[in-house]
Amino acid sequence: MIIQILLIPALVAAVLLSLRSRSSLRGQARRKILALATVVLGVLAVLFPDSLQELADAVGVTRGSDLLLYGLVLVQIYLVGSTSVRFREQEGRLVQLARQVAIMDASLRYAVVEGAEQQSPALVAAPVQSSDRTPRQ
C-alpha cells in the first residue's frame, strides 16, 4: 500500500513541523502558501470530482472521500500543534508583562528606588515631556 508509506511519515512530520512552527515572517509565508494550495486543490477537487478518486486509486485508497479525510486529519494535527506553540509564545509574553507589573507594584508599595541614576529620568523627565507636548498638539 502506497498510502501507508505516505501517511506514517506525514503523520510524524505533521507533529514535528507543527511543534516547530514559528511566528517568524518565513513561517507566516509558508502557512500562507499552504493556505493558497488548499484553496486551489479544493477548487480542482470540486471541478473535477473524478480526479480525487483517481488519486485515491493511485495510492491504494478505496474511495476518494477517504483520501480527503486522511488529508483533513493531518491538517487538524498540524493545526493543534502549531496553535499550542503560538499559545505558549503568548503565555511567555504575558508572564513577562505580569512580572514587570508585580515588581513595579512592589517597588511603589515599599517606595523602593531601583538605583539613583534611573530615578531622575523616570520620575522627573516624564512629566516635563508630557507638559511640553500638550500645548503643541
Q: What distance in Å separates the CA atoms of residue 68 and residue 44, rounded to the nearest whole number?
A: 13
The one-letter amino acid code at 97 reads: L
Question: For other proteins, which stretch binds (CB under 8 A), given 4-12, 35-43, 54-62, 90-98?
Answer: 90-98
Contact between 130 and other proteins by CB under 8 A: the answer reads no
Identity of the residue, 62 or 96, whose beta carbon is nearer to other proteins in the bound complex: 96
Nearest-approach distance from CB 122 to other proteins, in angstroms: 12
DSSP 60: T
Contact between 113 and other proteins by CB under 8 A: the answer reads yes
Name which of 71, 89, 92 is nearest 20 in CA terms. Answer: 89
Question: For other proteins, which stretch binds (CB under 8 A), given 1-9, 35-43, 55-63, 112-120?
Answer: 112-120
Contact between 66 and other proteins by CB under 8 A: the answer reads no
Identity of the residue, 9 or 42, whose beta carbon is nearer to other proteins in the bound complex: 9
Contact between 117 and other proteins by CB under 8 A: the answer reads yes
Q: What distance in Å separates the CA atoms of residue 72 and residue 66, rounded to the nearest whole number?
A: 10
Q: What distance in Å separates the CA atoms of residue 53 and residue 71, rounded to the nearest whole number?
A: 14
Query: With contact defined as beta carbons under 8 Å apart, do 77 and 15 qualify?
Result: yes
